[in-house]
């Protein structure tokens, strides 16, 4: 009676990180719109320091300054506006149910539900995108996932 009849449900959510732009730290040409940092080839854009140092400041550089009026060279605009992807999102919600027959027409249901079962934090995009600030660049200071939550319930059907 206690071992059989369990029902399990689960929702696993896995998302890659959203794109993020790393802007220029100095103006490369007057009148130009947004300027994005160049990616340094051969240098990784990411660090393995977790949320404290998600991006590598050595992986970005200023684009060249526009030196002539009417230049047709697009280099002063910098690189792509989505040079990096932020931290990904992982979440596992899980629940188990057990129904016990009380009488012919009534039953009792036991529920155990867990949200973020593995208690894995998912961090927001880093807020500091100034790659010249090598201490704070690429820091993610907040999470976008709630901590683990477990709840139990009894439900009586009549």
Strand partners, 135: none
Least confident of 16-25, 76-85, 114-123: 76-85
Tokens of 104: 């012919």
Please answer whether residues 69 and 30 qualify as being in contact, where contact means their C-beta atoms are separated by less than 8 angstroms.
no
State residue 24's pLDDT score. 83
Is residue 79 one of the residues assigned to a domain? yes
pLDDT the model gives residue 2:
67
pLDDT in tens, 15-24: 998 999 888 8
Q: How confident is the model at residue 103 (pLDDT cuts 50, 70, 90)?
A: very high
CA distance linking residue 97 with residue 86, whole number of Å: 37
* Mean pLDDT, residues 116-127: 92
151: DSSP letter: E
In a domain, 1, yes or no: no
For the entire predicted model, the pTM comes to 0.71
CA distance 108 to 5: 13
**Domain total of the chain:** 1
* pLDDT reported for residue 63: 81
Asked if residue 37 is part of any domain, the answer here is yes
pLDDT at 36 over 70: yes
87 is a domain residue:
yes
Range of the domain at 110: 6-157
Tell me: the pLDDT tens digits for 55-76? 999 999 888 776 666 656 566 6
- Give me the pLDDT at residue 125, please: 92
Using pLDDT thresholds of 50, 70 and 90, give the confidence band for residue 52: confident
Please check whether residue 43 lies inside any domain of the structure. Answer: yes
């Amino acid at each position: 009676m206690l071992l059989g009849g369990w029902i399990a449900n689960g929702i696993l959510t896995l998302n890659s990180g959203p794109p993020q732009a790393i802007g220029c730290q100095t103006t490369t040409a007057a009148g130009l719109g947004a300027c994005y940092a160049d990616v340094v080839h051969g240098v990784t854009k990411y660090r393995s320091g977790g949320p404290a140092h998600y991006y590598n400041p050595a992986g970005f550089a200023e684009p060249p300054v526009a030196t002539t009026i009417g230049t047709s060279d697009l280099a002063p605009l910098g690189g792509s506006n989505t040079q990096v992807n932020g931290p990904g999102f992982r979440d596992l919600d899980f629940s188990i149910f057990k129904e016990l027959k009380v009488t012919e027409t009534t039953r009792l249901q036991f529920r155990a539900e867990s949200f973020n079962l593995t208690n894995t934090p998912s961090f927001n995009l880093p807020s500091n995108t100034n790659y010249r600030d090598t201490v704070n660049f690429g820091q993610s200071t907040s999470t976008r996932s709630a901590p683990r939550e477990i709840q139990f319930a009894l439900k009586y059907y009549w």
